[in-house]
Structure 1
Amino acid sequence: MERASRAFNVKAFMYNSVVIELVSNNVSDINKQLTDTKRQAPKLFENQATILDFSKLEATTDMPSLETFKTMLGNNGFSLIGIHAPPTQIESENRNNAVKLHVFNQLIKKQAATQKTQPKTAHQAYIHCGPVRSGQQIVKKHQDVIIFGNVSPGSEVLSGGHIIVHGALNGKAFAGINGNEMSEIISMPSRPELISIASRYLKAPSRTQTTNQYVRFTLCSDNIVIEQII
């Protein structure tokens, strides 16, 4: 089985579902990335309705069983509700199961339409006044998050839109958790433990040297980039 640096991509789909787009059929790689993904945002992916997308995989006889995928996902808190573009083996297993998974035939078209409408959807921002302390988690799936205070190491801020921190960002920040790639993270110079935008990750980026400028994290060509804006 071919090994890859990334075993799958996580994408938003419909209201409260995610798509796991497989780019590797290596069980070890998939399981490790599932574990890492769940550890980085445990509450975000708790009992998360999930669709498994096989469309990026080449045809092979060395494919894990559908039951293996179900077990890996279930052990990491993901709830498998459907499949897309299943290879012959997976399709046959699903057909013979007593409880069949739904097969999504037009997953890509629906997903694209969802992503196009997301930036146009406006929601009142959630405002948090005061520090976000270690062990604290703020989760707002359908709002921007504005924080007047420091975000401490060991804390997490998750937003479906933008995250703006008028203070030091030293914890973890997850913007665009519904797949909105236009989301941004803005903070005073700091050393975040983890930055994520639309399921792309940047671990422990270096602290900027300037102390009087704000820093913006954006997504560009599937990579998170950093720039000073003030």
Structure 2
Amino acid sequence: MSTDPQKTSSSPQALEFKSSTFSVPVLVLFNNSLQHIEQQLQEKIALAPDFFKHSPILLDLQELNKRNLDVPLAVLVKAIRELNLLPIGLRGGNAVQNRQALELGIPVHALHGGGSSQENAKTKTLAATPEQPAPNEDASTLLITQPVRSGQRVYSHGDLIVLATVSSGTEIMAEGNIHVYGSLRGRALAGVQGNEKARIFCSDLQAELISIAGIYKVSEDLSKEFRHKPVQIYLQDHSLIIKEI
């Protein structure tokens, strides 16, 4: 049966593939005890329940496999999902784990650069950025003049400047620096492609989460002395430093 080319070409467009960049928390496992994993996940989630609720995560098994520690992947994924986290990928797995992941409907991500995923004790991995590309100096600055409302997400391939309030429940991300000239109440992630020189500047710090190059702090970790004050935030020795402006 032949297809009428005219009918095919005149059909309304139903879909389109587009490239996109977004941040995803990476769950790096160092111990294969499901009891300890579940307990510590509950503790982390309790610190920022709104941030972690229904959050997509990438599972990283590289450190477990370096230590020859096996983990029942199906049981692990079930436990993670019961905590309202959504595994969307696996990296650092062996052949058996990769096959199991695909059987569970979880895509397998290749590791790049041969680097270790072991983190400093003060470092918390947030963005799935195994490579550390150089900052894009040609990227344009994105200027936002209206308030960023709850539920909105904003991404800039260069610097991001917001001349108004960033409300709770929002997420603003930039590959470069972030400047907020109103109150910062949502989540701010600078240097999301690995730019450790990126900084966050805001006139009124009330953030739910701040992050630079994947190293982050949630609101409970922020000292009260910096709340409601103009500050700058930057990385030093893999730790977030907050200073008044």
TM-score normalised by L of structure 1? 0.64
List alignment gaps of at least 5 residues for structure 1.
1-14
Q: Is the 8 A contact 2:162 2:179 kept in 1?
A: yes
Conserved? CA contact 2:102–2:108, under 8 Å:
no
Cα distance change on mapping 1:165 and 1:68 into 2, 3 Å: same
SS at match of 2:233: strand
Aligned partner (choices 162, 167, 176) of residue 147 of structure 1: 162
What SS does structure 1 have at the residue aligned with 2:197? Answer: coil
Contact 2:159–2:178 (Cα < 8 Å) also in 1:
yes
Which of the pair has more CA radius of gyration? 2
Asked if the contact 1:158–1:173 (Cα under 8 Å) also holds between the matched residues in 2, the reply is yes
Q: Which of 23, 28, 53 is equivalent to 2:61? A: 53
Give the equivalent residue in structure 1 for 2:131.
114
Q: Deviations over 1:80-122 (max 9, x none)?
A: 2x43254xxxx4454578859758475525999830x232454
Counterpart residue number, 1:159: 174
Q: 1:126 aligns with which of 142, 152, 156?
A: 142
1:7: which partner in 2? none
Q: CA deviation at 1:147?
A: 0.3
2:212 corresponds to which letter in structure 1?
Answer: I
Deviation digits for residues 1-59 of structure 1 (CA, Å, limit 9, x no counterpart): xxxxxxxxxxxxxx77865432333430564457978942779x65x7x4623236633
Query: Are residues 1:221 and 2:228 paired?
Result: no
The 8 Å contact of residues 24 and 30 in structure 1, kept in 2 or not, is answered as no
Q: Any idea what SS the aligned residue of 1:108 has?
A: coil
Structure with greater strand percent: 1
Give TM-score scaled by structure 2 length: 0.61
Task: For 1:142-221, list aligned pairs within 5 A.
Answer: 142-204=157-219, 205=222, 206-208=224-226, 214-221=230-237
Contact 1:159/1:175 (8 A) holds in 2: yes
1:184, distance to aligned residue in structure 2 (A) = 1.2
Give 5+ residue unaligned stretches, structure 2.
1-20, 117-127
Which residue, out of 23, 28, 41, partners 2:38?
Answer: 28
